[in-house]
Amino acid sequence: MDTSSFIGIACLSVFLCMAMLMYSRRISALLALPIMAILIAVIAGISGKDILTKVISEGAVKLNNTYTTTMFGAMLAELLNKQGIAKSLIRWVAEFAGDNPFWLAIVLTAVTTLLFSTLGGLGAVIMVGTIVLPVMLSLGISSVTAGSLFLFGISLGGMFNIASWSLYKEVLGLQQAEIIQFVLPFSMIFSSIVVAFLLIELRSRKNLKYGAICLMLIGAAFYALQQLPKDVSANAEKAIDQYSLIVAGLSLLLLGANAIARHKQNAQQNPSWALLTPILPLVLVLFFNWPFIPAFMFGITFCALITWKRNSINVLTRSIIDGITAVIPAVVLMMGIGMLINSVSHEAVTHAIRPLLQSAIPTQPLPYVIVFTIIAPLALYRGPLSLWGMGSGLVTIVKDLKTLTSPAIMSMLLSVGQLQGICDPTNTANIWIATYLNTDTQVLLKKTIPYAWAATICGLLLSVSLGYVK
C-alpha cells in the first residue's frame, strides 16, 4: 500500500470514528466537525500555517452568506411568533377546515409547510407545534400520526426555505433555477406520499374520495408549475425587477402611514393582511429576483409596520436578538462545515481520497438509484450523506471529481435528506415532538421511515428522469 492510499484510508477512518461517536451521542456535531477537519488536515500532512489560516480561519467564514441569511430568516420567524401571526394563521385554517379529520390534517400540514418555508429552528417548531398538534389530537388523530404529519410538513416547507438554498448554491455552485427545477416536482411527489400516509393511518373508506381529490389537486398544481422553472431561469439572468422596488417602496410608505394611525389608536388587533408575511420573502426571491437578505428585511419591515403596536420597537428589537440567539447552534455548525470543506478540499486530502471515492461513486442511472437508495440511512446522525454534517466535506470532493454533476449531487442530497430531516432521532425537533406527545423518537422513526425512504427513491428516479445522471 502506497503512502497516498494509507493517508486516504486514515482520513476516511476519521470520518467513521466520528460518525460512531455522534451515533452513540458521545459527541455533538458542533464539536465533531471542527475536530474532524483538524485531524484530517494533520493526517494529510497539511502545514501548520495552512491549518491555522485556510482550514480554521478561512473555513469558519466560508459559509458566511449562508449563516447570515439564516440569521435574517430567524429574525422574521421570531417576529411572526411574537406578533401572533403564525398562531392566527393556524387557528383560522383550523376553523375553515371544520371537524373532518382528513381535511383538517391535510390543511394543517399544508399550513405547516407554508410556515416552514420561512420559519426554522426549534423555537419555530415549538411555536407551531403547540397549536397544530393539539388541534389534530382533538379530532381523534393519534399522537404518532399527528407528530409524523407535523414532521412531513416541516420537511416539505424546508424544501422551499430560501435560506437553505444558499448552502447548495455556495457548496455546489448551483443556480437558483437548477434548484427549483428539482424541488417543485419532488415536492409534488412527496405531497402525494403524505396523502397516502394519511389514508393508511385513518383507514376510512370515505376518505378515499378525499384522497383522490387531493391527488388531483396536486397533479393540477404540478402541471401548472411546469413552466415556473423556465420562467425563473429567465429571470435569473436579469437584474432585480425595478417595478418591484417601486411597489415595495410605495408599500412601505403606506404601511408607515398605517403604523402611525395604529399607534394613535393604540390598535392591538392584527389585520388580515398580516397573514401574507410568511410568503412575502419567497415571492420576492422567486418572482422578482431579489437577493435573500433584502427579501427577509422587507418581510421583517412589512410585519413590523402592518402589526404596529406601541411596543413594536421593543418587540422588533427583541425579535432580532432572540432570532439570532435561536440559530447560533446552526451558525456554529456551519462554521464547522466550512472548516471541514476547506480541510477535505485541500490538495493533500483530495489527492489521497480521490482514488478511493472515484471507484465507489455510482455514475450510471441504475447504480445511482440503487446504491443511494441502499445507503440512504447514512444521512442520519449527520452522517456522510448529510450536507449539514460529515457529508459537507465529501460532497466537495465528489463535486471536484466531476463524476456526478452538481444537480445530480443536489438532488441526491435532497432525496436522502428526507430521512435525516424527518426521521433522525437526534434532531431537536423530533426530540421535542416526541416529548410533547408522550412518545419516543424511535417510535416516530419507525412510523415515518418507510415513507421518507419512498420519497428518497422517487427523488432519485426524478433526478435520473431530469437527465442529471446519464
**What local confidence, expressed as pLDDT, does residue 70 receive?**
76
C-alpha cell at 358: 472515484
pLDDT per residue as tens digits for the range 138-190: 778 899 999 999 999 999 998 888 777 877 887 788 888 888 889 999 999 99
- What is the mean pLDDT of the segment spanning 212-219? 88
C-alpha cell at 365: 442511472
* Residue 235: pLDDT over 50: no
Using alpha carbons, select from 394, 386, 390, 458 the residue that is nearest to residue 422: 386
Contact 340, 33 (CB under 8 A): yes
The whole-angstrom separation of Cα 83 and Cα 396 is 41
CB-based burial label for 287 (10 Å; 0-12, 13-18, 19+)? middle
**What local confidence, expressed as pLDDT, does residue 233 receive?**
40
- Amino acid letter, residue 368: Y
Percent of the chain at pLDDT above 90?
29
Name the helix (H) or strand (E) containing 290.
none
The whole-angstrom separation of Cα 415 and Cα 413 is 5
- What is the mean pLDDT of the segment spanning 30-43? 89
pLDDT per residue as tens digits for the range 363-399: 899 999 999 999 898 787 656 677 665 566 667 777 7
CA torsion 458→463→464→467, rounded to 10°? 150
In angstroms, how far apart are the furthest CA atoms of the chain?
80
C-alpha cell at 116: 416552514
Specify the residue for cell string 493526517.
43
pLDDT per residue as tens digits for the range 44-94: 899 999 999 999 999 999 878 777 877 887 888 788 888 888 777 767 766
- What is the mean pLDDT of the segment spanning 324-348? 82
Q: 371-404 b/e with 16+ CB inside 10 Å = b?
A: bbbeebbbbbbbbbbbbbbbbbbbbbbbbebebb
**What local confidence, expressed as pLDDT, does residue 451 receive?**
96
Q: Which residue has the higher pLDDT, 236 or 273?
A: 273
The whole-angstrom separation of Cα 23 and Cα 20 is 5
The whole-angstrom separation of Cα 303 and Cα 285 is 17
- For the chain, give every domain's residue range: 64-327
**What local confidence, expressed as pLDDT, does residue 457 receive?**
97
Name the band, by pLDDT with cuts 50, 70 and 90, for residue 281.
confident
* Residue 229: pLDDT over 60: no
- Within 203-238, residue ranges assigned H as helices are 207-224, 228-236
Determine what percent of the chain falls in helix, strand and coil, rounding each to the nearest 5: 80, 0, 20
**What local confidence, expressed as pLDDT, does residue 435 receive?**
81
pLDDT per residue as tens digits for the range 288-324: 878 878 888 999 999 999 999 989 999 999 999 988 8
User: What mean pLDDT, rounded, does the chain reach?
Assistant: 83
- What is the mean pLDDT of the segment spanning 326-351? 81
Name the band, by pLDDT with cuts 50, 70 and 90, for residue 236.
very low
